[in-house]
Structures are given as C-alpha cells and as structure tokens.
C-alpha cells in the first residue's frame, strides 16, 4: 500500500511548502542529523513497524525521516487535534511516510487516525500523551503480542503510564523520554517558555509589557513561561500547589498567590500544570472584563471550558484562535486556541533547536529498546544516562561550545571522603 493510500491529510498540494519547512527545521537539528546519518548506515530499526502519535510538525517530520533512514516502517498520527501543520503532513506522505492528521480535526477523526496508526500493527509505539498505549491496553490488547516497547514524550503521558504501571496493568516496557535531562531542562523550559508566548502573541497581537500575566504551575514549563514573560516586561504572578515550587518562584522574583486572588488581577492567564480545572467557574466569575485565558498543558481540561460555555450569553470567534465569551452583565473573557496547547494551536510549537535534543532521545531510545528487548520488563524506565550525556555532548559540539574536563587529581578528590579542611 502506498503512503498516500494509507494517509488522511488536508491537501497533498501543500507538500512542496512542507518539504522546505522541514528542511528549514532540520538546519537547527544537528544532533538528530548525525543520528540519521549513522542510522542510514547501520539500519538499527530495519523492518521494525513503528506507530508514532506526535504533534505533526516539521520537527516531527525530521524524526520520522530519521527513523525511516534507520530502516523502520513508520506510520504517524496526530497527538492533538489542533497541533498539526498540514504542510508537514503533506510532505511526509510524499516522503513515503503514511500520515493521518488534519489541523482542526474533530474528536471522531482524531481517534479514527489513532486507530489507523494502530492498524499498522506496531512493534514500537511512540506517544506524546500516552494515547496509543491507552488504546492498546483498553481496546486493542490483541496488538500486545507484537509490541516490543514504546517511548513517551511528555510529562502528562509519563504520569498516565506510571499510574498504569502502579496498577500492575502496563504490558510492555516504556522509556520516558520526558525524564531525560536533555529533554525537560530545555524542551519544557525554553521550548514551551518561548513558544507559549509566541502562541499568545500570534493569536492576539497584544503587548505583554505592563500586563499582569498569571502562570498556573511552576514546573519546567511554567518556569520557562514566567521567565520569558518577565523578560518581555509583563508583571508575572505564579500560582502553585507545591510549597517548594512556590518558594522557588518567590525567590526567582515573582509574586505568588492563590488562583482566587490572581483571578481578580490577571490580564492574561496561562495554565501549564497537567491538572484539571485549574481555572474554574468561580475564578472566571471574578476575572476582569477582557481577561485572556489559555492553556499550554497537555490536555484541554486545565480551564473549565464547559462552565465558561454555560456562563456565556454569547460566543463569537473574533480572530483565529480567539473566542470571545460575553457573560451576563456584559463582561468578556477571551479563550485562546479552544483551551488546547496554545503554542501548537496558534504558533508552531517548540523551536527546532530544542526538539533536536528531545527527538535525538526518541531515536536513541527506540534503538535501545530494539537492542535490549530481551532484558526489558513491562515497566516505565528513565532514559539511560549514557544516552542523555551523549546527546548533551553532541549538542555542545554542534553549538561550538567547549568545556573543561576533570583532571586526574580532581577525579580522585571528588570520589574520596578523606580530604577535608
């Protein structure tokens, strides 16, 4: 079956534009390029069937081409209904990689696309949010016989998988790519930090300087958004439930307060917690007229959108990715990107330079699973330290940054208890 027959995309005519964009992203992905060149020679994934449920972006396209270069038989589907770049999807099909993803697809189509990817009978699953794993474990257990293992890209997915493991129900090994330092230190912090603000700005064209920006969640992503928001002149308030993160935010120079208080002062709200109803009805009831709310966490449940719908007397799409809700009494709340990941809905997701490291982890972890398939058990594993260190070194080399190494004397000193004052 050709890639085109086995795909569902918006328009194949977008492929030429998509190819150029994929090439552009690839310029910022030198580590993945090195892996791709080695994979092309060594074919470590020869004839391995892979189903990958990822944001269909130009960076993901570079990963898919790397896996294909390694000999894999890859099928892609979207990991979010609003994150697909239709040009990238079209180019992937022309590159011979079956792709099922259309920006703005409804939930029925979203799950149809996931099922098409699973019909490929994968031996490896690649997830961003654990949707493939969840469907295989719930509805398609007959696929388990063929599956060697899988990888998971994001925090929310790792949480879901650890819960499956804790219940004793995880049936195959997963490497938690998100837990690699070369992933969350950079992708979640600098990637989500920059691209979330990019999404807000592209959707609204508002000036951040002087605005009250409320960031719910001061984890890896929240730190990045708060830091970059401050850099653009916003007055940043952080909302947390973890005392340690809250102290960190205070000492990083941010105001910290409960969401009920922040709700009254915020001009722009961003949720990035991986939690549910972080902005709830009673918070929206006290927001200022014109408050902008959006989410950059994995699922669209962080803002209680059904309540907002109930509270509204009128709703209209005032700009792309901006829904104006008019409430009783005349106040307005603007919801961006339907509450879905705003950096992918209204902008282009993370810049390629950080996805270089995230996807280098994906490629090397998939190779690792195939090589070590006999030893791996049905557990959630961290990324082997040797892979993390190798990627960090390759990234530094690509950036032309040199660092020192320990002298023999220092190595002995650092591994000894004998020397003191």
Ligand X SMILES: NC(=O)c1ccc[n+]([C@@H]2O[C@H](COP(=O)([O-])OP(=O)(O)OC[C@H]3O[C@@H](n4cnc5c(N)ncnc54)[C@H](O)[C@@H]3O)[C@@H](O)[C@H]2O)c1
The single residue among 21, 33, 103, 184 that binds ligand X, judged by CB under 6 A, is 184
Give the side-chain half-sphere CA count within 13 A for 263.
15
How many Cβ atoms sit within 10 Å of the Cβ of residue 146?
12
Total residues interacting with ligand X, rule: CB under 6 A: 30
Shortest distance in whole angstroms from residue 309 CB to ligand X: 21
The single residue among 245, 255, 331, 373 that binds ligand X, judged by CB under 6 A, is 245
Of 57-65, 167-175, 271-279, 387-395, the window that binds ligand X (rule: CB under 6 A) is 271-279
Q: Looking at beta carbons, which pairs linking 64-69 to residues 24 or more positions away fall under 8 Å?
A: 64/92, 64/95, 64/97, 65/22, 65/36, 65/95, 65/97, 66/32, 66/35, 66/36, 66/39, 66/359, 66/363, 67/39, 67/363, 67/366, 68/95, 68/96, 68/97, 69/36, 69/37, 69/39, 69/40
* 197 vs 370 by CB, closer to ligand X: 197
Q: CA 334 → CA 63, 268, 331, 337, 421, distances in Å?
A: 35, 9, 10, 10, 61
Q: How many helices (H) and strands (E) does the chain have?
A: 18, 15
Is residue 188 a contact point for ligand X (CB under 6 A)?
yes
Spell 66-100 as b/e; 16+ CB within 10 A means b: bbbbbebbbbbbbbbbbbbbbbbbbbbbbbebbbb
Is residue 242 a contact point for ligand X (CB under 6 A)?
yes
The single residue among 173, 229, 266, 297 that binds ligand X, judged by CB under 6 A, is 297
Of 43-51, 166-174, 239-247, 357-365, the window that binds ligand X (rule: CB under 6 A) is 239-247
Q: How long a stretch of residues is the chain?
A: 421
Of 237-245, 249-257, 351-359, 395-403, the window that binds ligand X (rule: CB under 6 A) is 237-245
* 270 vs 370 by CB, closer to ligand X: 270
Q: Which residue has the tokens 């990035």?
A: 272
The single residue among 44, 98, 173, 219 that binds ligand X, judged by CB under 6 A, is 219
The single residue among 343, 353, 358, 362 that binds ligand X, judged by CB under 6 A, is 343
Q: For residue 217, what are the contacts with CB-CB under 8 A and spacing of at least 6?
A: 239, 240, 271, 272, 273, 274, 275, 278, 297
Token representation of residue 46: 């020869």
Strand partners, 235: 212
Strand partners, 236: 213
Is residue 278 a contact point for ligand X (CB under 6 A)?
yes
Alpha helices in 119-191 (DSSP H): 131-138, 155-166, 181-183
Of 119-127, 291-299, 305-313, 359-367, the window that binds ligand X (rule: CB under 6 A) is 291-299
Token representation of residue 248: 């960190």
- Residue nearest to ligand X as judged by C-beta position: 219
Is residue 202 a contact point for ligand X (CB under 6 A)?
no
- Phi, psi of 146, deg, nearest 5: -85, -20
Is residue 123 a contact point for ligand X (CB under 6 A)?
no
Is residue 193 a contact point for ligand X (CB under 6 A)?
no
Is residue 398 a contact point for ligand X (CB under 6 A)?
no
Is residue 192 a contact point for ligand X (CB under 6 A)?
yes
Restricting to residues 137-166, name those near ligand X by CB under 6 A. Answer: 154-156
Is residue 358 a contact point for ligand X (CB under 6 A)?
no
The single residue among 232, 241, 265, 398 that binds ligand X, judged by CB under 6 A, is 241
Which of 322, 349, 223, 335 lies closest to 287, judged by CA? Answer: 335
What's the distance, CA 113 to chain centroid? 19
Spatial distance between the Cα atoms of 130 and 232, rounded to a whole number of angstroms: 34
The single residue among 148, 175, 272, 380 that binds ligand X, judged by CB under 6 A, is 272
- Phi, psi of 386, deg, nearest 5: -65, -35
Shortest distance in whole angstroms from residue 321 CB to ligand X: 14
* 155 vs 182 by CB, closer to ligand X: 155
* 165 vs 275 by CB, closer to ligand X: 275
Is residue 321 a contact point for ligand X (CB under 6 A)?
no
Restricting to residues 81-120, name those near ligand X by CB under 6 A. Answer: none
Is residue 199 a contact point for ligand X (CB under 6 A)?
no
Q: CA 257 → CA 196, 253, 267, distances in Å?
A: 22, 13, 15
* 221 vs 363 by CB, closer to ligand X: 221
Is residue 240 a contact point for ligand X (CB under 6 A)?
yes
The single residue among 62, 216, 304, 358 that binds ligand X, judged by CB under 6 A, is 216
The single residue among 8, 248, 261, 275 that binds ligand X, judged by CB under 6 A, is 275
| Chain positions contacting ligand X, by CB under 6 A | 154-156, 184, 188, 192, 216-222, 239-242, 245, 272-275, 278, 296-298, 341, 343, 349-350
């Amino acid at each position: 079956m050709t890639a085109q027959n086995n795909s569902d995309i918006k328009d194949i005519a977008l492929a030429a534009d998509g190819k150029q964009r994929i090439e552009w992203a690839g310029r910022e992905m030198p580590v993945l390029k090195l892996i791709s060149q080695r994979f092309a020679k060594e074919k470590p994934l020869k004839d391995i069937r892979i189903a990958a449920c990822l944001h269909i972006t130009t960076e993901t396209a570079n990963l898919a081409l790397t896996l294909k270069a390694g000999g894999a038989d890859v099928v892609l589907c979207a990991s979010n209904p609003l994150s697909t770049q239709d040009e990238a999807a079209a180019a992937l099909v022309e590159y011979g990689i079956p792709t099922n993803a259309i920006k703005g697809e409804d939930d029925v189509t979203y799950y149809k696309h996931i099922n098409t990817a699973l019909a490929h009978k994968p031996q490896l699953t690649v997830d961003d949010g654990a949707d493939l794993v969840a469907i295989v474990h719930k509805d398609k257990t007959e696929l388990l016989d063929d599956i060697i293992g899988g990888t998971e890209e994001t925090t929310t997915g790792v949480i879901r998988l650890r819960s499956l493991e804790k219940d004793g129900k995880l049936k195959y090994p997963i490497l938690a790519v998100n837990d690699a330092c070369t992933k969350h230190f950079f992708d979640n912090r600098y990637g989500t930090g920059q691209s979330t603000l990019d999404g807000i700005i592209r959707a609204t064209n508002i000036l951040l300087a002087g605005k009250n920006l409320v960031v719910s969640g001061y984890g890896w992503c929240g730190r990045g958004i708060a830091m970059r928001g401050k850099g653009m002149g916003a007055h940043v308030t952080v909302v947390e439930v973890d005392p340690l993160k809250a102290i960190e935010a205070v000492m990083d120079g941010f105001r910290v307060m409960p969401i009920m208080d922040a709700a009254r002062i915020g001009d722009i709200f961003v949720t990035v917690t991986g939690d549910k109803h972080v902005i709830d009805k009673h918070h929206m009831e006290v927001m200022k007229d014109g408050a902008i709310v959006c989410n950059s966490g994995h699922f669209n449940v962080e803002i209680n959108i059904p309540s907002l719908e109930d509270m509204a007397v009128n709703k209209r799409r005032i700009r792309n990715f901006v829904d104006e809700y008019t409430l009783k009494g005349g106040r307005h709340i603007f919801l961006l990107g339907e509450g879905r990941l705003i950096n992918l809905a209204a902008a282009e997701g993370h810049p390629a330079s950080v996805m270089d490291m995230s996807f280098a982890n994906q490629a090397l972890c998939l190779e690792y699973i195939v090589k070590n398939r006999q030893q791996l058990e049905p557990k959630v594993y961290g990324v082997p330290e040797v892979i993390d260190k190798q990627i960090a070194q390759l990234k530094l080399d690509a950036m032309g940054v040199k660092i020192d190494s320990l002298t023999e004397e220092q190595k002995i000193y650092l591994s000894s208890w004998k020397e003191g004052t």
